Structure 1
Amino acid sequence: MKFAALSVAIALSGGCVSYNASQPSSPIDSVVKADLKADVAVGETITGQSSVNVLFGIFKFGGDSEFADGVEYGGSTGGGLGGALDPVSAVKSAAAYKAVKSSGADLIIAPRYEVSEQSYVVFKKVSVTVKGNKGNIRSIR
């Protein structure tokens, strides 16, 4: 009986214990450098336009479904969630895609983005027009 009481007392007085061992570390920072030079032919002015509707600042509807990838456009609202909290960068990406695709360009030289936001209480419309020059890569050496 004493053993059972002692076991219960030890079990009740003990608790969960977690240990955290710190290990100093530093982030891995690497730089890739390539001495490549591209010969780019600069052409005429190209333009692209896209817009999206946003409900409650979260739900996007009525926008495009094709986007330029691999470029950080940055928007006015910040955030992540796949562009749900940042509709500006998604609309910039769609406008850039349309400009490049419709002109047959490889890239946009000196892009300039015109952003228009019409904001109401629970609804917002974001429109972007991109203008720049057509760029086609002739060679990379």
Structure 2
Amino acid sequence: MNKALIASSLLLAVAMTGCSSLNVSSSPVPLNGSVATDIKADIEVGEKITGQSSATKVLFFTMSDDNEFADGMEYGNGGGSAFGLGGLDPVSAVKSAAAYNAISASGADVIVAPRYTVKKNDYVVYGTIDVTVEGYKGTIKSVK
């Protein structure tokens, strides 16, 4: 009986010890603000413009030939190329590069009514991202 008590105590001690982990997380609350201003811009809308960009993903790294991006653009999850091409959202960076290519090729100040077409091919360790942006050339005539 004594051996059974010792064996069961050892078994209970082994079962009670071990590895444990604790993960506490919370969803971040987005901080959105708005600024009201009396500034009015007179924008002349011109012909249709397009821009393209692509990137290749290998494992966790995303590589692109583009090294210039349109900053301050809103792409639905924070905007701009804040995370860059090696970061958490490579699609935003490729969209930003496509917008820059459209603006610089056409001489526009802004893209009016931009429409992005995103084509992703993901094969776990390898993938491609192709983005085309279409819109209209916007030229700022005056700001009041």
Please indicate, yes or no, whether the TM-score normalized by the shorter chain is above 0.5: yes
1:50 paired to 2:50: no
Which segments of structure 1 move beyond 6 Å, counting only runs of 4 or more? none
Q: Which runs of 5 or more structure 2 residues have no equivalent in the other structure?
A: 1-31
Task: Work out which of the residue numbers 105, 129, 133 in structure 2 matches 1:102.
Answer: 105
- 1:53 is paired with a residue whose SS is strand
Identity of aligned pairs, percent? Answer: 56
1:88 paired to 2:84: no
TM-score normalised by L of structure 1: 0.70
- Deviations 1:58-98, CA, capped at 9 Å, x for gaps: 211233100000112236xxxx7445221100000000000
Q: 1:64 to 1:137 in 2, by over 3 A?
A: same
Q: 1:36 to 1:62 in 2, by over 3 A?
A: closer
Name the residue aligned to 2:29. Answer: none
Q: 1:30 offset after TM fit, Å?
A: 6.8
Q: 1:136 offset after TM fit, Å?
A: 0.2
Alpha-carbon RMSD across the aligned residues, in angstroms, is: 2.1
What is the aligned residue count? 109
Contact 1:50–1:128, Cα closer than 8 Å, also in 2: yes
- 2:97 is paired with a residue whose SS is helix
- 1:36 is paired with a residue whose SS is coil
Contact 2:84–2:90, Cα closer than 8 Å, also in 1: no
Q: For residues 69-84 of structure 1, what are the structure 2 equivalents within 5 Å? A: 69-74=71-76, 81-83=83-85, 84=87
User: Following the alignment from structure 1 to structure 2, what is the Cα–Cα distance between the partners of residues 54 and 91?
Assistant: 12
- Deviations 1:4-62, CA, capped at 9 Å, x for gaps: xxxxxxxxxxxxxxxxxxxxxxxxx9753211111100000000000000111x21123
Q: Which runs of 5 or more structure 1 residues have no equivalent in the other structure?
A: 1-28
Task: Work out which of the residue numbers 131, 139, 142 in structure 2 matches 1:136.
Answer: 139
TM-score normalised by L of structure 2: 0.69
